[in-house]
């Protein structure tokens, strides 16, 4: 009895990454967990996939999202809904300080260093960069339907994984 309550509480709010899917009005979320192997007494990563109701298409492939369990299943597969996009893909934020990060350093530290030593001509300017999603349909095909390619055919489909 206590174990069932703990299981349901653990599945109520989950943090995961959005992965490509072919379902309409739903997104596929990968939740990473560590599972203890009783024989080795070591933790191993176990991925669990959830289909979440997302009619507004809030999240895109690669986003880190918070999902919430639905009181009732919408379909046989859709058991959760997307609560919010915590971190958009490509825009990394340190969860403790809330500062933007590039590689292993904070952006503001890199800007201070560039101000002191002079800016490089090839340095990328994050403030002048357009927001993510401006290349939809041109170079960004994350909104297109994807599928896993199991066979090799003569014609090449750019949306296959």
CA 88/CA 29 separation, integer angstroms: 14
What is d(CA 54, CA 83) in angstroms, rounded to the nearest whole number? Answer: 9
pTM higher than the cut 0.75 = no
Domains located in the chain, CATH noted: 2-91 (2.40.50.140)
Question: What is the spatial distance between Cα 27 and Cα 49, in angstroms, rounded to a whole number?
Answer: 10
Phi-psi region of 134 (alpha: psi -120 to 50; beta: other; left: phi over 0): alpha
pLDDT at residue 47, as a whole number: 95
Give the separation between CA 21 and CA 19, rounded to whole angstroms.
Answer: 7
Measure the CA–CA gap between 16 and 117, rounded to whole angstroms.
40
Helices (H) and strands (E) in the chain, counts: 2, 7
Spatial separation of the C-alpha atoms in residues 102 and 85, rounded to whole Å: 20
Q: What is the pLDDT of residues 42-53, one digit of tens each?
A: 999 999 999 999
Distance CA 98, CA 6 (A): 31
pLDDT tens per residue, the chain (161 residues)? 445 544 555 558 999 999 988 787 889 999 999 999 999 999 999 999 999 998 888 888 889 999 999 999 999 999 999 999 988 887 778 889 989 888 888 988 888 888 888 877 667 778 888 877 777 777 776 666 665 566 666 677 666 65
């Amino acid at each position: 009895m206590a174990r069932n309550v703990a299981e349901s509480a653990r599945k109520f709010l989950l943090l995961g990454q959005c992965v490509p899917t072919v379902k309409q009005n739903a997104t596929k979320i990968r939740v990473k967990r560590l599972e203890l192997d009783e024989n080795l007494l070591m933790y191993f990563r176990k991925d669990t996939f959830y289909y979440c109701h997302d009619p507004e298409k809030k999240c895109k492939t690669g986003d880190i999202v918070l999902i919430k369990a639905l009181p009732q299943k919408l379909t046989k597969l859709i058991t959760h809904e997307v609560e919010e996009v915590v971190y958009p893909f490509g825009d990394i934020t340190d969860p403790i300080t809330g500062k933007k990060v590039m590689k292993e350093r904070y952006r503001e530290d890199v800007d201070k260093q560039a101000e002191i030593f002079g800016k490089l001509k090839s340095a990328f300017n994050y403030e002048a960069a357009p927001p993510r999603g401006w290349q939809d349909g041109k170079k960004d095909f994350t909104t297109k339907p994807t599928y896993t390619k199991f066979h090799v055919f003569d014609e090449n489909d750019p949306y296959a994984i």
